[in-house]
Structure 1
Amino acid sequence: MNPHELLFNHIKRFTTLSPDQEQLLVSKLKYRKVNRKDFLLKEYEVCSCYYFVTKGCLRFYRNTENGFEQVLQFAIPGWWLSDFQSFETQKPSEYFIQAVQNTEMLILHQSDYQELFSEVPELNTYFRLMMQKAYTASLKKMELILCESAEERYLQFINSFPDFVQIVPQYMLASFLGFTPQFMSMLRAKKEL
């Protein structure tokens, strides 16, 4: 499946675009490949793009005061990722976006995003629904961290996203779930018994 087909299949789950609207969207998207560990955004840079992953995996994280990386979000094929606050305000980001593995994506730049919203109202609906889904997922993650034990978080995550465990390095998954890599190793060893 080509990258644009993956995006259009995703969009069709929420709204319908005419062939002319699809063509306009294609004209605004840029295709890009990045290597594992390449950065798309670094702290203090302004985020000017939305990234739609078509192959591979990206992570969204920040460095904490005690020197640890806190992973806040991942993006796998069919998912969008951006620093939405920096993107909307055009102020410097506090975060990094980095490729977890060799990754392919479609990129929508901020200036094209605004133009598309004006010309294709259906995309406004689509992105609003994506933001609602992202907000709901963030609330669910907060609920898990605040209300579930680390072991319950881990088990729920691997049952919900079994492929993720194969893609994402253990230390990144531990950071995302809110515990240390050592604790993750202990949980994995316990599960294998």
Structure 2
Amino acid sequence: MFAEIVSHMKKFISLTGSDEELLASYLTVKDVKKKGHLLKQGEVCRENYFILKGCFRLYLITSKGAEQVIQFGIENWWITEYHSYKSGLPSGFYLQAIENATVVALGRDIQEELFGKIPQLEKYFRLVLEKAYAAQLMRIHYIFNLTGEEQYRMMVQKYPDFVQRVPQYMLASFLGITPEFLSMLRAKKP
């Protein structure tokens, strides 16, 4: 079960065999049913999740009562609500499985302890967070500079399997368009 996470880490850092054994002794695997939540609004996020199998969405409920998807996460990605995770304050977000899923859960205190025992892990998480931050900046750039249709076409081109994997209403929410408009875009020839 831990081979995937160790393999992912080794793309960024080197780990010894004893590092791998120590890491495995601290990690917890959780199965999450489709539509199951790892986090709900008002709860404190206490874990960071590495997705072994499945797809997740991080979303909020707007003041108008609509679900707004902020982020998706798929296999070999980390997902959490970092503000709550680091501050210990209640979250304003939900973290939900879109399909049956399996994650490796890493509690905040455990993560800090592992940083002391395997210093390379701090570098790993820094590099992963830098990559995620850059992706979020690009997403914001696209939101302000591309139409909903252009964003959709780009996603279809870059991530065709993913576009088919998530429910249409969630993809529309992520793109900031209505499900009806997305349906029209899907029917339209590129």
Report how far residue 9 of structure 1 moved. Answer: 1.3
1:171 aligned residue (169, 172, 177): 169
Gaps of 5+ in 2: none
Gaps of 5+ in 1: none
Could you give the per-residue CA deviations for residues 82-105 of structure 1, whole angstroms, max 9, x where no partner exists? 001110011110000000000011
- Distance in 2, matches of 1:174 and 1:188, equals 11
1:106 is aligned to 2:104: yes
Runs of 4+ in 1 over 3 A off after TM superposition: none
- State the TM-score, normalizing by the size of structure 1: 0.96
Q: How does 1:28-107 map to 2 (within 5 A)?
A: 28-107=26-105
SS at match of 2:45: coil
2:132 aligned residue (131, 134, 148): 134
Percent identity reads: 45
Report how far residue 166 of structure 1 moved. Answer: 2.0
Corresponding residue of 1:191: 189
SS at match of 1:191: coil
SS at match of 2:72: strand
Report how far residue 28 of structure 1 moved. Answer: 1.0
Corresponding residue of 1:151: 149
- Distance in 1, matches of 2:7 and 2:160, equals 23
Report how far residue 152 of structure 1 moved. Answer: 0.8
The one-letter code of the counterpart of 1:77 is E
Report how far residue 42 of structure 1 moved. Answer: 0.3
- Distance in 1, matches of 2:125 and 2:17, equals 19
Report how far residue 145 of structure 1 moved. Answer: 0.6
The one-letter code of the counterpart of 2:112 is Q
- Distance in 1, matches of 2:77 and 2:56, equals 10
Could you give the per-residue CA deviations for residues 24-81 of structure 1, whole angstroms, max 9, x where no partner exists? 1111110111110001100010000011111111110000011111101111100000
**RMSD (Å), alpha carbons:** 0.9
- State the TM-score, normalizing by the size of structure 2: 0.97
